[in-house]
Amino acid sequence: MWKRSSRVRSVKITRKESKELYECMICGYRVKETSPRTCPTCTGEMQNLGNPREQ
């Protein structure tokens, strides 16, 4: 007897909601968000520092 494994493959997690570390280029404010474009404190441009676990 063999079991169908077609449903198991469709459970792949393909979410890109992994929170990464972002730092403001102006005031240096750091925040872990999904994709912040502006700094919440000085509305400056945010720079992606990547996942802190990989550093």
| Bigger pLDDT: 42 vs 18 | 42
CATH assignment at residue 50:
2.20.28
With cut-offs at 50, 70 and 90, classify the pLDDT of residue 40: confident
Looking at the domain assignment, is residue 45 inside a domain? yes
Residue 50 is predicted with a pLDDT of 78
pTM above 0.75, yes or no: no
**Among 20, 55, 27, 31, which Cα is nearest to 43's?**
27
In tens, the pLDDT along 24-37 reads 999 999 988 887 88
Q: How far is CA 15 from CA 8, 25, 32, in A?
A: 17, 28, 17
At 52, list the tokens.
Answer: 């802190």
Which domain, by its residues, includes 32? 17-55
Residue 23 is predicted with a pLDDT of 93
Looking at the domain assignment, is residue 26 inside a domain? yes
Looking at the domain assignment, is residue 32 inside a domain? yes
Structural domains counted in the chain: 1
